[in-house]
Structure 1
């Protein structure tokens, strides 16, 4: 049974990682396309820029969540050693820090602060 779990988990981790990369890429392409279309319509550039940053930030946050999930699956199910758990902890901390800073950048407040 154990011999069956590792390859399936590795495949699932790779699939989820691909989804995360795809989400970030598709959001980036969509946001860029939308910004160019709005610039050609002569909309206000400041609002275009702010909405572009917020939409791109949301896409990156969503993609990061998939990438973290894939790292967790791979580490726990495929290659569980003290070294890989340590590397996973560092990667999760870095990605969590990125997520928090992106959230603060997009909303102007910490995630745990309530709505005004």
Structure 2
């Protein structure tokens, strides 16, 4: 087995973990939300959005890591690095948007007292 094949396998595993985190997080969040809704919990929807957003954020981090491993270690051409940069910019924007949705503030802002 070559180094390139090992890197591809590692990137695939990391990518699979990211997808699994998103899927399992969505399923878990939905199950908790249904349970809270049946109990008529006052903040069921807000809690559901927060839990789902956190799952997506964590999954996105794993997907970015897989893209970095695959691009830098396997095919470090100028074109592949440019594609990686675009992917990271898009995912970073998504992460920041989700963080704002979840917490109501930007990551660099202080928590309210």
Per-residue CA deviations over 1:46-95 (Å, capped at 9, x if unaligned) read x1000000000000000000000000000011111111100000000000
Map Cα deviations across residues 28-62 of structure 1 (whole Å, 9 max, x no partner).
00011111112222333xx1000000000000000
Aligned ranges 1:20-99 → 2 under 5 Å: 20-44=18-42, 47-99=43-95
The runs of 5 or more residues in structure 1 that have no matched partner are none
C-alpha RMSD of matched pairs (Å): 1.1
Q: What displacement does 1:106 show?
A: 0.8
How many residues end up aligned between the 2 structures? 112
Change (3 A) 1:42 1:115: closer
Distance of 1:23 and 1:17 partners within structure 2: 10
Which consecutive aligned stretches of 4+ in structure 1 deviate over 4 angstroms post-superposition? Answer: none
